[in-house]
Amino acid sequence: MKLIECPRDAMQGLHEFIPTEDKVRYINQLLKVGFDSIDFGSFVSPKAIPQLRDTAEVYAQLNWQDSPSKLLAIIANIRGAKDAITFEGISYLGFPMSISETFQQRNTNKSIAEALNELSEIKNLCESKGKKLVTYVSMGFGNPYSDPYAVDLVGQFVDILVTLGSDVISLADTIGVSTPENIKYLFTSLSKSYPSVEIGVHLHSNPVTALEKIQAAYESGCKRFDGAIKGLGGCPMADDALVGNMATETILAYLDEKQIKTSINKEAFVKAMQMASTIFPAH
């Protein structure tokens, strides 16, 4: 079971800048918890995501060498990938691909075709420095733009990403429209088609439907879950009423109830929860 904590996603849409020292303090605490990976920052234009303009400064103060967790950074183009691969402690580069043409333009300022071309070069850059590529299938459960969507379309898209060499594919419910039924159908069908590919979920949800979505993914064989403490965050590029990330504590509660072992240090996790209450603006 791989649990990925996403403070980057929790922070990126906030208007009030979180001081660098607070980010460092928080992420260093997360590095003690036992997550598989920490999605800690991004190498994108500070004009697009000003909250994360200090990612390099944050990285310089992280105790990643003393942690079993790996660092993941989001990139949106080749320039960002070239920056990210120079950091020894960053193991994963995450790239947002969307099956919605509208959202791909909003999110990365390029078409799907252009993004796929860049993804191929980004994969080569990752291999040159021993990094792994995580590709997010944004709007993977539907979109609000009336762009074409179908489960078969997702499958065709994943086939392209596998061909391009993505090490991990994460099905992203960018706007919280997934249901237990389509999570089960999509994840089960993709897992059967690509048994050797690591496929995870990055689900956005409101608290009411969160647990049933986690259960649907787990029962379909998912062993990789993204989450954010307190369910904070969402995608600032989605341009609609944001739903938060899947709350990490909800994921852990489900796994505990099912007596599924994880590598989480509960005491360190509680400290991180307490710290989040002081660092993030009140919600």
Q: What crossing angle do the helices spanning 180-193 and 207-219 adopt, rounded to 10°? A: 30
The pLDDT value given to residue 267: 98
The pLDDT value given to residue 234: 61
User: Which secondary-structure segment (H or E) carries 39?
Assistant: strand 37-43
What domain range is 245 assigned to?
2-279
Query: For the domain that residue 240 is a member of, what is the CATH number?
Result: 3.20.20.70
Q: How many domains does the chain have?
A: 1
The pLDDT value given to residue 46: 94
Q: What crossing angle do the helices spanning 20-30 and 266-279 adopt, rounded to 10°? A: 160
The pLDDT value given to residue 238: 46
Kindly give the parts of the chain with pLDDT less than 50.
238-242
The pLDDT value given to residue 59: 98
Residue 235 among the catalytic residues: yes
Please give the model's pTM, rounded to 2 decimal places. Answer: 0.95
The pLDDT value given to residue 47: 92
Strand, helix or coil for residue 146: coil
Q: What is the radius of gyration, based on Cα positions, of the chain?
A: 17
DSSP letters of 102-117? HHHHHHHSS-HHHHHH
